[in-house]
Structure 1
Amino acid sequence: FIGPAAGISYPLFVASFLPGANWILALLIGAVLSLPLLFNYYFLSLKLPRSSSDYIFVSRTLGGMMGVILAMSLIVSFAMGFPVLAELEVIMVLSPAMQLLGYSLHDPNLIFIGNELTDNVNYLTLATTLIIAVAFLISSNSKWFFKAFRYLTFLQIVGTIVMVLGMVALKSAFTPYYQPSPPKFSFTESLLLSSVFVLSMYAFVNAPAFFAGEARKPRKSFALGYFASYAVATAFSLALILALEYSIGVGGFISVSTEGWKLPISTSSLLSFGSLPFLDNLPLVILVIASGLTWYLLYAMINVGASSRFLFSLAFDRVLPSFLGEVKRGIPVNALIFSLSLSLFFELIEVYLGYSVSFAVDGLWFLTWNYLLVSLASAITVRKDLKLGVSGILSSFSLALTAFIAVFYGLKYANVVFSGDVYFDLSTIAIPPLAGVTTYLIAKHVRKVQGIDLDSTFKEIPPE
């Protein structure tokens, strides 16, 4: 799953501080950088059609410790990233949504609530808690999960189309703010922006692997899940960017994003620009807002589903206690509850106490401790499986290049790309693997006391 509107909303926020960046070039470079990873996961899913297939593959190829590092890194990354997604849902969707409704309905109270959602930490924490609760509630039943995912994705597509058409057909709404692209072009800024597109938009390119064992007609499902979603999301993202450049212009977008406009509506979100043409048409404003509510919620639902399945797989491999492997209504329910508890713990730290991490670092967690490990494991199988091996080699190179660009050039714009204390932000990348190593060593010791050789577990492929 790749959400185009949500995926480009954060990069466009970053772009407002990179006046020399070419948005279209950055998007296309990001798409190219993500292609090797896309093929790598496609070939992996065909080879090993199991839920949590990347964990199973790495643990059976690089050994149990590396597999546990990957799984625990992802579990911790999902838990630490959940508050980031919930906070983005508030800042990029809920807050401007209340302001938009308040302006359309001429109700200052709604505008006030929209402001308080981002200005008052208690309101912000309450809102993020509700978002987390909704995501976990929907994910607590497999039928609810897949139906909700299908309908919410459709709603997001409809809303995205409406935004594009509105910005193009009703360009006059942007006339007071229109400015053409700045004359200066910077390839460095474009390259940095491309890495942000990878980290925030293409970060869930591997989502089908989390649920691979639950797919019917796997070859067709994987082709659609990987390539069709990638192509459609890239096309929609390109359409949104072209619509913005046509309606308000790059210069106008940067000016409004950094200096504001006369409207009592946040300019930090794509939702505000997508709704501007319809401010006098309440039904269309509501439609665009409703589609916006799906932006980060869908990513959050992927987080829930993936983390619970990784916990289940670790329990099955005797790394974690067996009660985490209990399944009800097609869902590992105890794993789900544990994941919820972990997410709420990190919400307290990140949202309420303010020790937040940036969306870019959230993407770096996945890139480093999930994608790179899978790519390296794939690369060493090149003699046995040429397609998987070659895609792994190319993916390793593109991932390393993306990480280098994001960190090296990102440090020059640290206040924009990263959040708060940049060194604290980057240091959190070390937390997931530390959790993985600690979990593996404790599990190995406990199983040894019980007379069980933990490493022997990783020599066989588990049943689905």
Structure 2
Amino acid sequence: MICKMGEERFFARETSGLIREMGLVDIVSFILAPIVSSGIIYFAVQSAGQNPAANVPLSFLLMGLMLIPVAVTIGLLIQAAPRSGGLYVPVSRVLNPTIGFFSGWMIFVALSLIGGLISVIGAQALGSAFVVSGVWTGLGSWISGNAFLVGVLFLLITAAFELGGFGTLKWFQRVIVGAPFIILIITWIILAFTSPSEGVAVFNNAFGSGAVESLRQAAGEAGFELTPWTWAGTAGILVAVIFSYGGMPTTTFFGGEMRRGKKISLGFGLGFTLVMVVYTLTAFLTQTTFSGIVGPHAFLSMNAPEALKGVIGSVTDASLPFYIGLLLSKKMAVFFAFLLAIWAVNGIVPIRGAASRVLFSLSFDRALPSQLSEVTDRGVPKWSTGITVGLAILGAYLFSHQYFAVIGTVTSMTRVLLFFFGIAAMVMPFVRQDLFERVPASLPVYLPLASWTTALYGFQLINTITAMGLTTQIIWIIFAIVGLVIYVYQQKRNAEEGIDISDAYKEIPPA
């Protein structure tokens, strides 16, 4: 064990300075928000346009079932050692500090960019809510056309709440998760009691007689033909589904702010189960009620926007607020769609906040300049928060300007840490028995869970990397090299200051 003097010499400070205020309700809300934010609003509906032979609800259900053992594994390890930095901690302590840094750096970049991406999705959802309802259509069109600026506004507002301290942030998050969730349940009920024929009728009523047939014809001319679903088609949308579920581990990075106890693993299990139900029901009900409409709509919005505009009068993505707006009165449509659009906004807090905690942890371990681990008087990472907001703004710009390669880039970036986490979890009982003793599970139960985690995240890493185009590959490499150059420079500084990191990673960071 490293002596106290050694800890003070190596770590940026003797304690993290973070405040443990995160309880069971907050863990569940922080898990629910980032996973369903862009997914529930956008990908659970818009994914239907990627492949006409895809069964979108089935793809979300299957991936959710495969991820349940992963959620259990993550919950057990975080309960054993709740620290800021989440999954980075076991990777760097069990495998190697450099592997820990590289995978931590990649997920820091990815989460920062994703924070900007979902801020734009929130803006687009809000704009479409006003457009489809016929209320404040001018404002709705302006928001949709200026999604980048509105997204930046969302980023700044959420950052302000975060800098107010976790005591303020958690209540803000509870409200913007709880209110939309109630509306979501009501939305499911409305969709469940609306038949496909009624779905066609309300679409034609909103956009003119024969609008559905015109939509399908335009999509067919652009290359999208409605066909029965196939397993190959369902597998063809896996990248979007994997991305949608990718927010689950982000809550682990708030480990330094979680109250210790069994409620940590309980929160992970409950939160993820809710996520799977939300995704599957939303995709199923939307695409059942508007059968044969969602797919062509989503396809045209991505591939032939002018053709879509000729049918519905605007270029509006297929989203949950859009379709629920067709079924309600104008005033109710605005109210419902506005609250549903908040789903995207509430994902900004845990995702971009997680990125700042990763940067904080890397700095705390002196893998990056120690100034990045400074916290405010309210226990919030100071410089790390500012840097992640800057990167999130870049992500918002890229996504709002149709640089969709950023989605493939960030998805594969997150899987680097997750894959190495799986490996670290597998070998921990044998190479770091002192850490495994903290895990509240026996080896026969734990090892199959850890092995499945490695296999699934390994598959996701390979799947997302092989789907990358040249542009995505270049973006990926640029961010990787930038991080490694900074890391090498910091190691040079550590050596010059006489800091030996060879034994430091034998201990988890101080709380």
Shift, 1:356, TM fit: 5.2
Q: CA deviation digits over 1:62-106, x for unaligned, max 9?
A: 121111112222222223333322222233x132023135x1x3x
Match of 2:335 in 1: 287
Q: CA deviation digits over 1:307-346, x for unaligned, max 9?
A: 2222222222222333322222121122212322343455
Query: For the residues of structure 2 that align with 1:267 and 1:208, how far apart are their CA atoms?
Result: 29
Query: For the residues of structure 2 that align with 1:161 and 1:379, how far apart are their CA atoms?
Result: 39
- The one of 66, 84, 103 equivalent to 1:70 is 103
- The one of 195, 205, 209 equivalent to 2:248 is 205
* Contact 1:77-1:432 at 8 Å conserved across structures: no
Match of 1:149 in 2: 173
* Contact 1:167-1:243 at 8 Å conserved across structures: yes
Q: Which letter maps to 2:335?
A: L
3-state SS in 1 of match to 2:53: coil
Q: How does 1:46-445 map to 2 (within 5 A)?
A: 46-91=79-124, 93-101=125-133, 103=134, 105=135, 107-114=136-143, 117-118=144-145, 123-141=146-164, 142-171=166-195, 173-176=198-201, 182-200=226-244, 202-224=245-267, 226-249=268-291, 251-257=292-298, 258=300, 260=308, 261-262=311-312, 264=314, 266-278=316-328, 280-282=329-331, 284-328=332-376, 329-345=378-394, 347=396, 350=398, 355=403, 357-367=405-415, 369-383=416-430, 384=433, 385=436, 386=443, 387-406=445-464, 408=466, 410=467, 422-445=469-492
Query: For the residues of structure 2 that align with 1:95 and 1:281, how far apart are their CA atoms?
Result: 14
Structure 1, gaps ≥5 residues long: 412-421
Shift, 1:144, TM fit: 2.2
Tell which deviates more after alignment, 253-262 or 80-89.
253-262
Q: RMSD across aligned C-alpha pairs, in angstroms?
A: 2.8
* Contact 1:5-1:160 at 8 Å conserved across structures: no
Match of 1:12 in 2: 45
Change (3 A) 1:124 1:290: closer
Match of 1:21 in 2: 54
Structure 2 length-normalised TM: 0.77
* Contact 1:37-1:371 at 8 Å conserved across structures: no
Query: For the residues of structure 2 that align with 1:33 and 1:152, how far apart are their CA atoms?
Result: 29
Query: For the residues of structure 2 that align with 1:198 and 1:272, how far apart are their CA atoms?
Result: 23
Q: Which letter maps to 2:251?
A: P
Change (3 A) 1:43 1:285: same
Number of aligned positions between the proteins = 436
Q: Which letter maps to 2:452?
A: L
Q: CA deviation digits over 1:173-220, x for unaligned, max 9?
A: 5133589995533211111224421222x1111133112232225312
Tell which deviates more after alignment, 422-431 or 132-141.
422-431
Match of 1:41 in 2: 74
3-state SS in 2 of match to 1:32: helix
Query: For the residues of structure 2 that align with 1:155 and 1:451, how far apart are their CA atoms?
Result: 53
Structure 2, gaps ≥5 residues long: 1-30, 204-211, 217-224, 301-306, 437-442
Query: For the residues of structure 1 that align with 2:107 and 2:371, how far apart are their CA atoms?
Result: 20
Change (3 A) 1:217 1:44: closer
Q: Which letter maps to 1:357?
A: A
Query: For the residues of structure 2 that align with 1:111 and 1:81, how far apart are their CA atoms?
Result: 23
* Contact 1:6-1:295 at 8 Å conserved across structures: yes
Query: For the residues of structure 2 that align with 1:432 and 1:391, how far apart are their CA atoms?
Result: 32
Change (3 A) 1:215 1:83: closer
* Contact 2:37-2:347 at 8 Å conserved across structures: no
Match of 1:419 in 2: none
Q: Which letter maps to 1:97?
A: A
Query: For the residues of structure 1 that align with 2:450 and 2:337, how far apart are their CA atoms?
Result: 40
Query: For the residues of structure 2 that align with 1:437 and 1:134, how far apart are their CA atoms?
Result: 32
* Contact 1:381-1:388 at 8 Å conserved across structures: no
Shift, 1:161, TM fit: 1.2
Shift, 1:265, TM fit: 7.3
Shift, 1:44, TM fit: 1.3
Calculate percent identity across the aligned residue pairs: 17
Q: Which letter maps to 1:430?
A: I
3-state SS in 2 of match to 1:455: coil
Q: Which letter maps to 1:189?
A: G
* Contact 2:324-2:333 at 8 Å conserved across structures: no
* Contact 1:174-1:248 at 8 Å conserved across structures: yes
Shift, 1:355, TM fit: 4.9
Q: Which letter maps to 2:259?
A: R
Query: For the residues of structure 1 that align with 2:286 and 2:255, how far apart are their CA atoms?
Result: 36
Query: For the residues of structure 2 that align with 1:173 and 1:23, how far apart are their CA atoms?
Result: 21
Query: For the residues of structure 1 that align with 2:454 and 2:319, how far apart are their CA atoms?
Result: 33
Query: For the residues of structure 2 that align with 1:404 and 1:262, how far apart are their CA atoms?
Result: 39
Query: For the residues of structure 2 that align with 1:355 and 1:5, how far apart are their CA atoms?
Result: 20
Query: For the residues of structure 2 that align with 1:90 and 1:134, how far apart are their CA atoms?
Result: 13
Shift, 1:424, TM fit: 0.6
Structure 1 length-normalised TM: 0.85
Change (3 A) 1:52 1:12: same
